[in-house]
A and B are shown apart, each in its own frame.
Chain A
């Protein structure tokens, strides 16, 4: 009987010792999320070494609570009590709350296919990249008219390609996910001139004044002021060239009067009509 009691006492003592040892064991969370509180059990001093921060705490009553706003970095963390106990645990990014949006280019001609690209990287509140697939909406519009597309991110990135609209103006390129919206402006400008035509607007003894019709691209958008239009005159004296800038949709040039001259007009790679002045 005494022997049985003795064995029972030994077992109880071992049980108690194991329980005490277990209470001191470092226990870390398995499903931690950035921005959410966690509790870590152990004893002594706790060091938490994360990708972008280090936290040091003393265990009180066998546990330490880390507040949500303290646990900011997602990734691989190391928990150590400074002695022989240490463990690795993972912190996942929080829900998508921020977008990093690259819209290119900032200035683009109208009516060009797949010329505007939008790339977004998805982040949580604490700038951790959200790797899980996230739907991102892209909207490109000029004057309220445009197109919208939803793309699901892969490995934290979502991207789209768009054609420029046929109407010139400041296009609003908006990327959004959840409550987060980022806006970029893509300036859509007129493309190359279409149907470039000039006429004689005036004549004096020494000069001939040439003027273009309002210069527009093929979609009817006025070509921006300041665009260079070149007038070239060929006559018996040789070649005269005048570069004029478009002002209020029209380019104007004065060329020396000639008895027999051929005048051409061009803007960039676009050639306009040809005029013959003088001669028989």
Chain B
């Protein structure tokens, strides 16, 4: 009888661990989206190595900020990574989401990015992004839309005080 109890208890503990480990893994995982940048087609100026690294870092951070802001309806991450029209639009989106009780969960499966324009003075860069994105729109706790798609984006980034900020981010039908 005692042995049976011990077995049940052990089984219970193992079951709890098997459930908790993937959950912890998911929580602790680096949830940065992967960004692959190709600068071969950038014109009229060649993209310097340092700039390439900075663009990958800051474009990744911008997408992380979108995910966080739209999921939690917070503006902080947007202000750090966006400026100009893109900041205005995402700010309005977050405000509207908050007003209507909506949140958007973005599961980012990565970006294949081509630099298509780099200004002669090196102050602005335009990117063409093919993003694999899973989107879930929630009204309260209810999922009202869910889809997974490859979405094409045009992004314009400009140099700011200590980083590149996204000034334009627009999805377009191909």
Q: Which residues of A contact B (CB under 8 A)?
A: 47, 49-56, 73-76, 78, 80-83, 86, 88, 90, 92-93, 102, 104-105, 117, 119, 121, 123, 127-129, 131, 154-157, 159, 161
Contacts and interface: CB of A to CB of B under 8 A. Distances in A.
B116 A155 contact: yes
B135 interface: yes
Interface string B89-111: 11011001101101010000000
A102 B119 contact: yes
29 contacts: A47-B137, A47-B139, A47-B144, A49-B137, A49-B145, A51-B169, A51-B171, A52-B89, A53-B89, A53-B92, A53-B96, A54-B102, A55-B96, A76-B171, A80-B145, A81-B144, A82-B142, A82-B144, A83-B144, A86-B144, A102-B119, A102-B121, A119-B124, A128-B170, A129-B168, A131-B172, A155-B116, A156-B156, A157-B156
Contacts of A161: 44, 120
A83 B145 CA distance: 9
Interface stretch (B5-13, B25-33, B147-155): B147-155
B164 interface: no
B173 interface: yes
A88 B147 CA distance: 9
A53 B95 CA distance: 8
A104 B89 contact: no
Contacts of A83: 144
B83 to A, nearest CB: 12
B71 to A, nearest CB: 14
Nearest to A123: B85
Contacts of A93: 170
A102 B123 contact: yes
Given A121-B156, A127-B85, A102 B124 contact: yes
A78 B134 CA distance: 13
Given A78-B147, A88-B149, A155-B128, 4 more contacts: A104-B119, A105-B121, A127-B85, A156-B126
A80 B144 contact: yes
B63 interface: no
B117 interface: yes
